[in-house]
């Protein structure tokens, strides 16, 4: 399969339990491909949406607001709702924010957040609303990765600051509405994540009203936990959580 094919939305038909997968900021559905295949092998119906402005041209992302990203996920939610009795929302990084937003505003049965971007580690993010008027893009410093990881990480190599501003808006909205979530939730976070702050895990746990909050911490991988060295553990934990 070519890189362009990996970037696209994909759907695996299964039983009446639907998994809605949401990728991260500036990324593509490819980062969730292997997780989706594992879930499909267990019988779940799986839909991995591609967020507006992602997986095409950087200018497309620059034009989008957080509402456009929400719309992308809500459309996927409605498609699954038409064919499934239960809906599970699963997101990575900013995709976790969008999964939480769906759980805050729609009926879902379980939520999985992978490296949730509740709090970002970049301390300069607070200046973005001003700086975006003077600097259009920032370069994304890509790591040297094994081919087995790199083939699933097909996001943009630079980021519009206007989009970073939209991410900040989404963070604030989702955090404010966390008490509306009362369904079982799984949170998986790496201690070595250099992109999001693991304090976000506690923010979720302390503010949701769910009686079932499961936290799992990883010790050896970075932010991209669905493609890095502990991915099999992640896939197993997610699958077991959804099967119970």
Active site residues: 93, 193, 223
Strand order in the sheet with 17-22: 10-12, 45-49, 17-22, 86-92, 110-114, 185-190, 213-218
Cβ-based neighbour number of residue 220 at 10 Å: 11
Q: Is 94 a known ligand-binding residue? A: yes
Q: Identify the CA nearest to 44 among candidates 6, 16, 83, 8.
A: 16
CB 34 within 8 A of CB 153: no
SS3 137: strand
Q: Which residues pair with 10 in a beta bridge?
A: 48
Integer Cα distance of 101 and 174 in angstroms: 6
Q: Identify the CA nearest to 205 among candidates 102, 92, 127, 113.
A: 113
CB 35 within 8 A of CB 90: yes
Q: Compute the CA torsion angle 98, 145, 37, 39 (nearest 10 deg).
A: -50
Q: Is 11 a known ligand-binding residue? A: no
CB contact set of 1 (below 8 Å; sequence gap of 6+): none
Provide the annotated binding site: 25, 94
Provide the annotated binding site for substrate: 25, 94
């Amino acid at each position: 399969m070519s890189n362009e094919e990996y970037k696209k939305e994909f759907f695996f038909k299964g039983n009446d339990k639907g998994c809605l997968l949401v990728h991260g900021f500036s990324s593509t559905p490819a980062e969730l491909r292997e997780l989706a295949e594992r879930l499909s092998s267990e019988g779940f119906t799986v839909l991995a949406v591609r967020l507006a402005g992602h997986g095409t041209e950087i200018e497309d992302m620059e034009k989008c607001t957080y509402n456009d990203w929400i719309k992308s996920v809500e459309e996927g939610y409605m498609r699954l709702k038409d064919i499934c009795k239960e809906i599970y929302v699963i997101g990575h990084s900013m995709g976790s924010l969008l999964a939480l937003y769906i759980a805050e505003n729609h009926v879902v049965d379980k939520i999985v957040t992978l490296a949730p971007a509740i709090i970002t580690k970049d301390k300069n993010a607070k200046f973005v609303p001003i700086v975006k008027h003077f600097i259009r893009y920032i370069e994304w410093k890509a790591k040297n990765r094994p081919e087995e990881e790199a083939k699933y990480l097909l996001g943009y190599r630079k980021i519009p600051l206007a989009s970073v501003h939209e991410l900040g808006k989404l963070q604030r909205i989702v955090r404010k509405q966390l008490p509306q979530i009362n369904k079982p939730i799984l949170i998986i976070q790496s201690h070595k994540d250099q992109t999001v702050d693991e304090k976000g895990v506690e923010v979720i746990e302390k503010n949701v009203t769910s009686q079932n909050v499961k936290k799992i911490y990883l010790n050896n991988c970075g932010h991209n936990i669905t493609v890095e060295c502990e991915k099999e553990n992640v896939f197993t934990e997610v699958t077991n959580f959804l099967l119970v």
